[in-house]
Every structure is written in C-alpha cells, then in structure tokens.
C-alpha cells in the first residue's frame, strides 16, 4: 500500500525533528544508562564506522518491524549516522542490552510501498516518539531516510 505524500517537506517539522534529536543527544548518557539496565522499548544500539575517522560510532535507534523485515530510519532525511552508514557500504553492528552485537547490512529503501510500511511502523516507538512520528508523518514520508536490515553473511 503506497501512501500519497505532500510534495514539499515541512519547514516546521524539519526544525522540530532537529530540535528533538538535539535534545536526545543531550540526554544520550541518561538514556544509554537506562537502556543498558532495563532496555527502552524497541531501542537498539548500532555501531557504524565513521566516514571521516574510521572509528566506530555508536547510536541508539528504534528498530522497526513490518512485513517480517527489520528497518531503521531517520525522519528528517540524512543524519550523521545515515551518512556514515552509506559511506560504510551499509555495514553495521546491531546490539541489544546484555548481548554481543550482530553484523547486519542495511539497504536504503526507495520511495514505494515497503518504505511507506517502514514509516507506518514508527508507531512502534515508545511514547512520546510514536505520537511525534504520527503527527509528523507527512513530512517523514517526503524526506525520511529508511533502510531494510539483512543479517550479514558470515564470510
């Protein structure tokens, strides 16, 4: 099911998502501590090689599930972690609290039904994320950057 979208991104939502992710960056140490102790809904830790430094960069993200697949995404288009992921050829590690990370490959989703399903799955985020994504869905459908995860082959 493909969803019709507005043709232009929303300047208000673009600013709002930048502000939200700035706040999440400030709260990262606290959120990471809670995540390590008891988890936070669908939140996982991804480790991606930095595109400039080559050093591992860790980010907490919401893992989405739709149609039997796993997805990651950013509602406001390219972000630092998506740029790093693209530069790393889609290679990343996914970690859950208390478990060893697992290698995955992330394939970018073009506009279409699968991308729309991944965006609709943002309702899986813990409150208030689910509400924020729902309210900003038209903007996310226009500019969001989403990836399907595939377990990396053991070579």
Tens of pLDDT, residue by residue over 3-24, are 555 478 889 999 988 998 899 9
For residue 102, the model assigns a pLDDT of: 97
For residue 153, the model assigns a pLDDT of: 78
Mean pLDDT in residue range 13-38: 89
Above pLDDT 70, what percent of the chain? 95
Are the C-beta atoms of 62 and 124 separated by less than 8 Å? yes
For residue 45, the model assigns a pLDDT of: 96
- Which are the contacts of 104, defined by CB distance < 8 A and separation ≥ 6? 91, 92, 93, 94, 149, 150, 151, 152
- Of 56-60, 99-103, 113-117, 122-126, the least confident: 122-126
* 35 pLDDT higher than 90: no
Q: Output the average pLDDT for the chain.
A: 91
* 58 pLDDT higher than 70: yes
Mean pLDDT in residue range 136-149: 96
Rounded Cα–Cα distance for residues 105 and 123 (Å): 24
Burial of 16 (0-12, 13-18, 19+ CB in 10 A): middle
- Cβ neighbours of 105 (radius 10 Å): 17
State pTM to two decimals. Answer: 0.89
- Is the domain spanning 11-151 CATH 2.30.110.10? The answer is yes
For residue 5, the model assigns a pLDDT of: 53
* 128 pLDDT higher than 90: no
User: Which of the four pLDDT bands, split at 50, 70 and 90, describes residue 154?
Assistant: low
């Amino acid at each position: 099911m493909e969803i019709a979208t507005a043709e232009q991104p929303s300047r208000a939502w673009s600013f709002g998502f930048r502000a939200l992710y700035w706040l999440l960056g400030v709260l990262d140490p606290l959120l990471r501590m809670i995540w390590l102790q008891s988890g936070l809904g669908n939140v996982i830790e991804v480790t991606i090689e930095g595109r400039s430094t080559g050093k591992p960069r860790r980010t907490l993200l919401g893992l989405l599930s739709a149609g039997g697949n796993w997805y990651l995404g950013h509602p406001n288009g390219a972000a630092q972690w998506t740029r790093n992921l693209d530069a790393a050829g889609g290679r990343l590690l996914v970690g859950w609290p208390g478990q060893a990370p697992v290698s995955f490959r992330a394939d970018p989703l073009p506009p279409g039904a699968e991308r729309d399903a991944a965006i609709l799955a943002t309702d899986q985020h813990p409150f208030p994320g689910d509400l924020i994504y729902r309210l900003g869905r038209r903007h996310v459908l226009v500019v969001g950057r989403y990836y399907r995860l595939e377990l990396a082959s053991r070579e």
